[in-house]
Amino acid sequence: MATRMEPWRYSTNILQMFKMAGRAQSCVQSKRYLLPSGPIALPLIILALAKGHRINTTFPLSSTGPAILQLVQISALTFANGGDNDIKYVFFEASTISGILHASMYLDAVILPYYTGFDALVKSTFSGECPSCVCRNEDLVVGGTLVSYTGWSLTTFLVVGTLCWRVVCRLYGRKLGSFILIRPLLERSSWILIIIDCVYLTTNSPPERLMLRVAAFGGILVLICLCVIRELCTCITQLHSVYKSRTADVCNRSKMEMTK
- pTM assigned to the model: 0.79
CB 190 within 8 A of CB 159: yes
* Strand partners for 134: 126
Question: Residues 6 or more apart from 189 whose CB is under 8 A from it?
Answer: 158
Q: What are phi and psi of 134, to 5 degrees?
A: -125, 160
Residues shown for the chain: 260
- Listing DSSP states for 104-150 in one string gives HHHHHHHHHHHHHHHHHHHH-EE-SSSTT-EE-SS---TT-SS----
Name the 3-class secondary structure at 81.
Answer: coil
pLDDT (tens, 9 = 90+) of the chain, 260 residues, equals 444 445 444 444 444 444 444 444 444 455 667 888 888 899 999 999 998 888 887 888 888 999 999 999 999 998 876 555 678 888 888 999 999 999 999 999 999 988 988 888 887 776 666 666 667 777 777 888 888 899 999 999 999 999 999 888 888 877 777 777 888 899 999 999 999 999 999 888 888 888 888 888 889 999 999 888 888 888 888 888 877 777 877 777 777 777 76
